[in-house]
C-alpha cells in the first residue's frame, strides 16, 4: 500500500553528500600537513646529527695529532659542503700559590681545543666542541729531566 503524499525512498540528499566530502577534505588536508611537518622535523634532526658527527670526527683527529705542540688554527670542509675549523690555544690555570723562585716549569702545557662546524647554508657555527689536552712541549728525542 502506498501512503498518500510523498513516497519514502532511502538515500542521501545532495547536502549530506557535500557536507561529508567537505569534512573528508579537511581531514585529509590536516593529515597531509601533519606528515609534511613531521618529514621536515626528521630532516632537521638528520642535519643536526650529521653536524655533530662531523664535529666529533674533527675533534678526535685533532686530539690524535701529536704534531700540535703550540697554539695554532686550521680548517677544511667535508664533501657535503660542511666547513670546519680547529683553534688550539694555551689554557692558563690561575695559580693561587705563593711565588717560589725554585719552582721549575713542567715540560707539559695544557691546551684548549675548539672545533666549530658550519653547515653549507649557515654563516655562523652550527655546533661547537671544546676540550682540554695535556701536551708534551719538548721534542720527542730529548730526554726529559725530572725536577730534583
Residue 148 in this model has a pLDDT that exceeds 60: no
Percent of the chain with pLDDT over 90: 61
Q: Show me where the domains of the chain are located.
A: 14-95+103-136
Residue 87: closest CA among 116, 125, 51, 64? 116
Neighbours of 59 (CB within 10 A): 19
CA angle, corner 127, sides to 42 and 54, nearest 5? 75
Residue 62 grid coordinates: 685533532
Give pLDDT tens digits for 21-52.
999 999 999 999 999 999 999 999 999 999 99
Q: pLDDT band at 69, cuts 50/70/90?
A: confident
Per-residue model confidence (pLDDT) at position 89: 95
Residue 132 in contact with residue 110, Cβ under 8 Å?
Answer: yes
Q: How far apart are CA 121 and CA 75, in angstroms?
A: 17
Per-residue model confidence (pLDDT) at position 41: 94
Per-residue model confidence (pLDDT) at position 104: 74
Q: What DSSP element (H or E) covers 66?
A: none
Give pLDDT tens digits for 104-118.
777 788 999 999 999
What is the SS3 assignment for 58-112? HHHHHHHCCCCCCCEEEEEECCCCCEEEEEEEECCCCCCCCCCCCCCCCCEEEEE
Outline where the chain has alpha helix (H).
Answer: 14-64
Amino acid at each position: 500500500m502506498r501512503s498518500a503524499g510523498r513516497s519514502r525512498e532511502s538515500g542521501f540528499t545532495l547536502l549530506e553528500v557535500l557536507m561529508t566530502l567537505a569534512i573528508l577534505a579537511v581531514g585529509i588536508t590536516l593529515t597531509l600537513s601533519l606528515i609534511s611537518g613531521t618529514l621536515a622535523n626528521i630532516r632537521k634532526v638528520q642535519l643536526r646529527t650529521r653536524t655533530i658527527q662531523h664535529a666529533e670526527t674533527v675533534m678526535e683527529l685533532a686530539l690524535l695529532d701529536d704534531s700540535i705542540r703550540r697554539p695554532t688554527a686550521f680548517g677544511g670542509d667535508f664533501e657535503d659542503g660542511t666547513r670546519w675549523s680547529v683553534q688550539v690555544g694555551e689554557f692558563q690555570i690561575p695559580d693561587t700559590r705563593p711565588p717560589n723562585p725554585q719552582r721549575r716549569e713542567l715540560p707539559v702545557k695544557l691546551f684548549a681545543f675548539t672545533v666549530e662546524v658550519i653547515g653549507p647554508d649557515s654563516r655562523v657555527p652550527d655546533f661547537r666542541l671544546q676540550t682540554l689536552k695535556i701536551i708534551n712541549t719538548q721534542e720527542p728525542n730529548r730526554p726529559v729531566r725530572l725536577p730534583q
